[in-house]
């Protein structure tokens, strides 16, 4: 079968935490392939490695894997502002990549988890649309699905640096948009979010954080940590994997950002080819799904009020 072999350590984690059974692995992949072939509304990527990633993200529950795959391709149909025009060399995506808004750290933490550093304030408010910024972030998530076995099996941790966040950044993100992004992340992606660590929080931003948390599942809300100093962050994320600008020992962040930008750009052909996959709601058995089914009514979300 066409998938990567795991190290003994990763395989042990996958067996213990994700219910992976090497003796059933090929059979489970084939089951999902057979199911996809019978879904008239879904045109999905059928690579063994791709389907194995979804199985792992769903702890090898076949039914959950089917639901996740359906949702993954469904949100692409309903949210073209996030999942269309995914050229890494487009002007807006280049601005986001060049600013270093998102950086995947090259080393994992002590638990083997992938660590992602985000700093939205590096891109001045209004430079690109909110949709373009999140479109770029979802490119990174797809790359994780394709190649990052540590992130899929051990999970990932986000460090959200709120330095330089302004009122313009906050008001550009509506509650309804937050709901759409949270639904995509939680319901469509087979990831294992293990924690969000928020640092450098300026006064007044707590309301914004609280509103975003309201769209999280309870399990994820319990994994959000707001740090008043870097010392408490180091209790969770070791210095040895952090950039020197964050008191770490892993070298300058600029080199990490350049490497991540080059990584995303290297997938340009993949994202162009990937545009063919999605759902056709007119062919879905039963009732087609609507935006309201997926995300609720836009008018029902209260607006963010910042004093």
Instruction: Encode pLDDT of 11-28 as tens digits.
Output: 999 999 999 999 999 999
Whether 57 is covered by a domain: the verdict is yes
293 located within any domain: no
The Cα–Cα gap between 292 and 171 comes to 23
User: In angstroms, what CA-CA distances link 113 with 7, 10, 40, 68, 110?
Assistant: 15, 11, 37, 22, 7
In degrees and rounded to multiples of 5, residue 167 shows phi and psi of -60, -35
251 and 162 in a single domain? The answer is yes
pTM of the model: 0.92
Whether 49 and 131 map to the same domain: the answer is no
Our separate counts of H helices and E strands in the chain read 16, 7
CB 19 within 8 A of CB 153: no
Task: Tell me if 169 is assigned to some domain.
Answer: yes
For residue 194, which of 150, 227, 234 has the smallest C-alpha distance? 150
More reliable by pLDDT, 65 or 212 = 65
For residues 37 and 102, membership in a common domain is answered with no
Helix axes 48-57, 62-78, angle to 10 degrees: 110
191, 62: one domain: no
Q: Which domain holds residue 183?
A: 87-266
Residues 96 and 151 in one domain: yes
pLDDT digits (tens, 9 = 90+) for 143-176: 999 999 999 999 999 999 988 888 788 878 888 8
**Domain assignment present for 285:** no
Number of domains in the chain: 2
Rounded to 5 degrees, what are φ and ψ at 161? -90, 115
Both 54 and 178 in one domain: the answer is: no
CATH number, domain of 37, equals 1.10.8
> Over the stretch 56-94, which tens digit does the pLDDT of each residue have?
999 999 999 999 999 999 999 999 999 999 999 999 999
98 lies in the same domain as 190: yes
Shared domain check, 13 and 103:
no
């Amino acid at each position: 079968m066409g998938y990567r072999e795991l190290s003994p350590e990763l395989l042990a984690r996958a067996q213990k935490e994700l219910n992976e059974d090497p003796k059933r692995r090929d059979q489970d992949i084939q089951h999902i392939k057979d199911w996809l072939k019978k879904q008239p509304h879904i045109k999905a990527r059928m690579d063994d490695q791709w389907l194995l990633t979804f199985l792992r993200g769903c702890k090898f529950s076949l039914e959950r894997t089917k639901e996740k795959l359906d949702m993954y391709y469904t949100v692409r149909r309903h949210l073209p502002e996030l999942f269309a025009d995914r050229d890494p060399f487009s002007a807006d995506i280049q601005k986001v990549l060049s600013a270093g808004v998102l950086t995947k750290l090259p080393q994992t933490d002590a638990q083997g988890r992938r660590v992602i550093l985000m700093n939205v304030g590096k891109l001045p408010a209004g430079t690109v649309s909110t949709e373009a910024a999140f479109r770029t972030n979802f490119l990174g998530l797809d790359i994780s699905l394709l190649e990052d076995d540590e992130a899929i099996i051990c999970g990932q941790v986000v460090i959200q640096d709120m330095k330089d966040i302004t009122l313009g950044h906050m008001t550009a993100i509506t509650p309804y948009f937050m709901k759409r992004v949270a639904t995509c992340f939680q319901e469509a992606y087979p990831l294992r979010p293990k924690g969000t660590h928020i640092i450098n929080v300026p006064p007044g931003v707590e309301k914004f954080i609280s509103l975003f948390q309201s769209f999280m599942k309870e399990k994820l809300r319990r994994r959000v940590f707001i740090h008043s100093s870097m010392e408490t962050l180091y209790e969770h994320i070791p210095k040895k994997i952090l950039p020197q600008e964050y008191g770490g020992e892993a070298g300058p962040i600029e080199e990490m950002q350049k490497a991540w930008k080059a990584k995303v750009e290297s997938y340009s052909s993949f994202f162009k080819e990937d545009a063919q996959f999605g759902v056709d709601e007119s062919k879905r058995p039963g009732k087609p799904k609507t935006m309201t089914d997926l995300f609720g009514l836009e008018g029902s979300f209260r607006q963010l009020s910042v004093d």
